Structure 1
């Protein structure tokens, strides 16, 4: 499930279904990793058949992915289940999470369709807008540009935790090797 894309509305970050931004991040991760069609996967040496909108992942793996405790993940999953965003079932002693409104989130309205492998892209235009704002499928040529997504830990740091500012010693420790750093510290202490 590491290829392709998901549709994501900006209002998800202000939804009352979530208690905090970490819950939003975990939910978005589950949506992104969910199967977009029925498929067979091997997870932790077990074969699992997933339906559309399902993902199998262990609490421990989620905890490791987000850099949080097992208990914190369990609480987040309980909240996501209680708010009706996901359901959980056990399959061969593994948790299978199903995104309750997966089709609502991932099936786009159809006005103009362009087929992309495993997805349908819909472009809706506002007919009252100026022509330069109109987007036609015929103007899209070539392959889409490759983008690099930040790692989940980086997102967690940027969104949830305020990055701490490094002092002069920490900055130099990152820039210099151990021997040069030691010399620099001695020089700083002697001056």
Structure 2
């Protein structure tokens, strides 16, 4: 089991680390701090994923930034798995994509050899139903990365990729973090 590191602490630089790996804790902290700091609690940083709790809503979630890209972006892309105890919604997969989607465009999630059709609009995508959500969560636990591909509002193809290192631990931390919240 991985040991969580509280934000905003980060791993020290080592010569083998990529620039992305060194900046990831800072990027996750920036996303986590987008809402009022007093409302959000860090549950830990696990490789490329962070886990957070917001007891005021209440909600808990695991979140990761997409890999950097030099391509045009309309939004800062992230992947999240959220739980809202008052809504009886647990472990809901959500993607904020880097571009505004073409209406009616196919959205495909690739995790290893598995392919999943997503639904969505604007710059967001999610599984079509609970069965697909559960299947995606299961595959996320053992794959190295996942990629969402779609067509943007200008008709061009694009994709966003998220490393899955630490995703399982962050998802578990978020689930446990909301276990007692009602």
TM-score range for the pair, normalised by the shorter chain length: under 0.3
**TM-score, normalising length: structure 1:** 0.25
Larger radius of gyration between Structure 1 and Structure 2: 1
**TM-score, normalising length: structure 2:** 0.26
Q: Comparing both chains, which one has the higher relative contact order based on Cα–Cα distances under 8 Å and sequence gaps of 6 or more?
A: 2
Which one has the bigger strand percentage?
2
